[in-house]
Structure 1
Amino acid sequence: MTRSSAFSPFLLLGGGGQYEDRAANSHVYGFANAGGGFLISLNEARTVAIRVDAKHYWVFDNDSSSHSYLQDTRLNAGVQFLLGGKTEQPAAPPPPPQPKDSDGDGVIDSLDQCPGTPPGTKVDSRGCPLPPPPPPKDSDGDGVYDDVDACPNTPVGFKVDARGCAIREARIILHDINFEFDSSRLLATSKAELDKIAAGLKGQPTMGLIIEGHTDATGPDAYNMKLSKARAEAARSYLVSQGVASSRLEATGYGETKPIATNKTKEGRAENRRVEFKVTRE
């Protein structure tokens, strides 16, 4: 096996015995040795090295002299070759390169049909940006999105709370509730507007309304008062016919007593001819 250092010291310790068959008799004696040395490697694999060692020998032979043993010291130097050393394992091959995803969208370049996607963009399996989600819908236009609107179909113009429900004292004014001349009979266009009110009342089943009729100053006061009351009652009757409980609706007329514009012009008188809806119960 290979050594871990270019300079390798070592110790030596040994012993043994020897049998001699002589002409006169046979003889057995033993010996021992101890010493040390070092190796200096001559190549990177450390399979060739200079070896230097020294040993001291003791030979236990009573026949050789007057002493019971002989001593000897030897110094050796030479070149050592390591045969059949352990072959080093080849280095593990580098891992295969990871598929590249240049724009970091989670789809590798070889499959990405939309390279260069901006960071953070959500993409489909082709690496192309997903279409943006549809904007939140507010069908009744009250400022509260449909997915959280507890009172859908609120008539346009009513003030609502965070739930989308009309608040008490909220009021809308409609100039599109028209009647036949000098009559309380509703026109077809007026019914279409009242249908929107009915839908809002169905969407908020606890809401109550008072319907107020108003006229301009043309004609006698008493006549205008009576006409405004009749027109308010006509609007109420139509809402009831559309499935709104009569207990939720009141009707009253104010004639020409509450103008919101001047009666001296045609435009002002048109403003004063109106129907108002006021929330009395949420």
Structure 2
Amino acid sequence: MKNLSRLLFAMLLVFGFSNTYAQDDNNPWAISFGVNAVDFYPNGDGSPFGEGFGDEYFNAGDHWNVLPSLSTITVARNITDALSFGVTGSINKIENYGDQEVSDWSYYGIDGTFKYGFLQHSVFNPFIGVGGGYTWVDEIGAGTVNGSLGFNIWFTENIGLTIESAYKHAFEDYLSSHFQHTAGIAIKFGGKDSDQDGVYDKDDACPDVFGLAIFNGCPDTDGDGIEDSKDSCPNEAGTAEFNGCPDTDGDKVADPDDKCPTVAGLVELNGCPDTDGDGVADPDDECPNNPGPAENKGCPWTDMDGDGVADKDDKCVDVPGTVANDGCPELSEAVQKSLNEYAKTILFDTGKSSIKSHSAEVLENITAIINEYPNAKFNVEGHTDSSGSDALNMKLSDERAAAVKDYLIGKGIDSSRLFSKGYGEEKPIDSNKTRAGRANNRRVEINLVK
């Protein structure tokens, strides 16, 4: 039995310490020191369930043995928040051994105890314990199994009063089972605070950076009441409305998003002002005091020729025209008629496409009219009478039309504006039976391409 008790005690110690060293709770270690009282009064014939057990539990005057000095030291470590393991060493002098009076017997005890606490984070912290140990009385020792009840009252986070009462049941007949009561001061320590901010690493969300308790140990560098991890501008004091960023000009646009952070502006223009109210922010507005469209950089449109068509849309910016004709002048029926009156007077050498020299003045007038309509395109049409073969007439009319076109191009008219085509005798405007009618049918027309 003696060897069994010693083995049990050794297993308790090994099991306890092998599990506790792996923990890292706030202040995981505790040391307590105080006094103990040993009570050997018969307790139910050595059984905690026997008759009379605990009858005189509070009879301190007759049965308690108290050494009036420091007589108990305990070192304990948390395993979890509620569970801890501790080792207690105690000494005493025994003068009352139950009903037997003895003379200064020595008492030594070493015990290992698992304790489970309740109300862990309150001032009053009750606990229960179970464990075992070895006790020597008058230099005769035996193993014990222990059960205990107690409580702590914490004066501060780390310092408190501890009260405990343990029943120690002996394995051997030569050692009586007994109560051991202890009272002492407990001190918790060992909590790790790497950044020295007063928040233990276990509870510190930023254990390597000095921070504030209200932010679980995380910093608020700019002191605006918003922790850095949630602060979009951690180095500039701001407001919660803008996730910790400032709004220097007070325009409801946070500075990082404000293209004009020192001048109050409009939210829809990213914090920039719009002095002329044209929807173009002043920094992008080339005419900030005169409203104009965005496509013209905030400036009003110009109309150089005053025809009501903005220069950007005016295909004839220097010549007044009409809106319908994109700012270019429109060829009226009268002008078209005048153009063809001139064209009919162009004379060619007989049976040829060469233009007679005295038609130069007529062609100058035609050129002047076409130049008045720089956006218009024209088709030069050649026509003949019915004299001769169809093939020859078609060829001759085509060549004469081309000759007039080439002449006009030579006078500076863009070739992309002129087309030519011969129609032969297909489109007569008079009778080919008379000499006068055939003369009318031999003609050149210059018509607007619509």
Assess same fold via TM > 0.5.
no
TM-score by length of 2: 0.26
Q: Which structure exhibits the higher relative contact order, with contacts defined as CA atoms closer than 8 Å and separated by 6 or more residues?
A: 1
TM-score by length of 1: 0.40
